[in-house]
Amino acid sequence: MEKDINLKEETLRNMSVESVHYNALLDLINREQNRWYKKTKTVLASPQHTGGCDEMHWFCYGIKCYYFTMDIRIWHECKQTCQNYSLSFLKIDDKDELKFLQDHIIRDNYWIGSSYNNKKKEWSWIDNSPFNLDFVARNSLRKTGYCMYFSMAGLHDDDCGKRYLCICEKGMDKIPAPLCSVKETSHSAV
């Protein structure tokens, strides 16, 4: 019996040491991520209208920066919002980019730049390039709608008249200087 107690005590000590090790590793990963990944809150004025500015949050990954709008809109309004800021509606190029985006949203649905062409019977991106993401199961897009949105669970389709947030993008080398103001904020997901 005493041997069992000693064995259990040893196991608990090992688990405690292991826990400290994993907590230190997690802290290191978080510090590294914060160093390489910075969230910036920026307010941009639209060249298409005068007056107020729309608040947008952006994240950069690889050679792209992503703009997350804070107002819900229908798909066509999201497309117009991106154009108003000289941005592109989000086009996801590969599995790594999809994973990055999934890791940086907590809730909500976001319209992206893909829609269903009923004549061609296929999905395409806003720039008319084919939707060739082989890693997305074609049957996961049930064709209940003609516009694509993004959530933590992946890519989905819905009625273009539904209201969701928007994601726009721009090449890192083409990011416009904010026209209203820039405020640095600490790292957190949208």
Give the CATH number, domain containing residue 82.
3.10.100.10
Least confident of 85-94, 103-112, 154-163, 176-185: 176-185
Round to whole Å and give the CA distance between 135 and 20: 37
**Residue range(s) defining the domain that contains residue 58:** 40-184
By DSSP bridging, strand 54-61 and strand 40-44 are antiparallel
Structural domain tally of the chain? 2
Q: How confident is the model at residue 176 (pLDDT cuts 50, 70, 90)?
A: low
As a whole-number percent, the residues of the chain with pLDDT over 90 amount to: 23
| Residue range 127-147, pLDDT digits in tens | 988 887 765 655 456 567 899
Query: Is 44 contained in some domain?
Result: yes
Residue 105 lies in a domain: yes
Is residue 29 located within the same domain as residue 44?
Answer: no
Does residue 114 share a domain with residue 91? yes
| Helix, strand and coil percent figures for the chain, each rounded to 5 | 30, 30, 40
Q: Are residues 168 and 136 in the same domain?
A: yes
Q: Is residue 189 part of a domain?
A: no
What's the pLDDT band for 182 if we cut at 50, 70, 90? very low
Tell how many helices (H) and how many strands (E) occur in the chain: 3, 10
